[in-house]
Amino acid sequence: MHISILLVSLLGMGFIAAVFGFVVLNSGPRDEDFGGIAKRGYFIRLWWFIGLCAAGVLVSVWSLIPFPLQASSAESPRIIQAVGRQWSWELASNSVETGEPVRFRVTSQDVNHGFAIYGPDDKIVAQTQAMPGYFNDLDVTFEHAGKYRVLCLEYCGVAHHAMVAEIAVTEKH
């Protein structure tokens, strides 16, 4: 997921760079007939616009249905309270089994924090904000066993980077 996001972005940016490169390389010699250039330009622009709109509709439909933040349909997930405070996490439980639907009920006692679960490969699995006065439910079903970590992803003061907790995920018996 993470790397494909990077690759798609680089591809898009590379395309834009190529178009700019093409135009800069073809900036001369001067063609006095700007009317003619503009006419062809408007034609390309129209299709560029239609293409972007069409891509937008497709991507939006594909990525928004079903709504990505919907609570999981699991019957009765195991609920684990997670409370952030400057500068530590308090998890009601630190051990989970693979395949077990878990709902982290995340809040904060003081300022905004970010509750982000990092996998054993050090990549983010999922996240939500930890807000004073609110509970955000984050549904996760761990697929692989290993040591997961919770890092804080909302800047919360001088020890923000050191606000780490661990979750041990074990194979289901």
Residue 160 in contact with Cu ion, rule: CB under 5 A: yes
Residue 151 in contact with Cu ion, rule: CB under 5 A: no
How many whole angstroms separate alpha carbon 141 and alpha carbon 97? 9
Residue 96 vs 156, nearer CB to another protein: 156
Apex 71 CA angle, 132 and 120, nearest 5: 80
Near Cu ion in 29-68, by CB under 5 A: none
> Residue 9: which of another protein, Cu ion, none does it interact with, CB under 5 to 8 A by kind?
another protein
Q: How far are the Cα atoms of 5, 106, 150, 163 from residue 84, in angstroms, in the given order?
A: 29, 8, 11, 9
Residue 58 in contact with another protein, rule: CB under 8 A: no
Which stretch, 30-38, 76-84, 95-103, 165-173, contacts another protein (CB under 8 A)? 30-38
End-to-end CA distance of the chain: 29
Sheet holding 124-130, edge to edge: 95-97, 165-170, 146-152, 113-118, 124-130
Near another protein in 144-173, by CB under 8 A: 151, 153-162
Query: Residue 110 CB: number of other CB atoms within 10 A?
Result: 13
Report how many residues bind another protein under the rule CB under 8 A. Answer: 73
Near another protein in 93-132, by CB under 8 A: 110-112, 114, 116, 118, 122-129, 131-132
Interface residue list for Cu ion (CB under 5 A):
113, 152, 156, 160
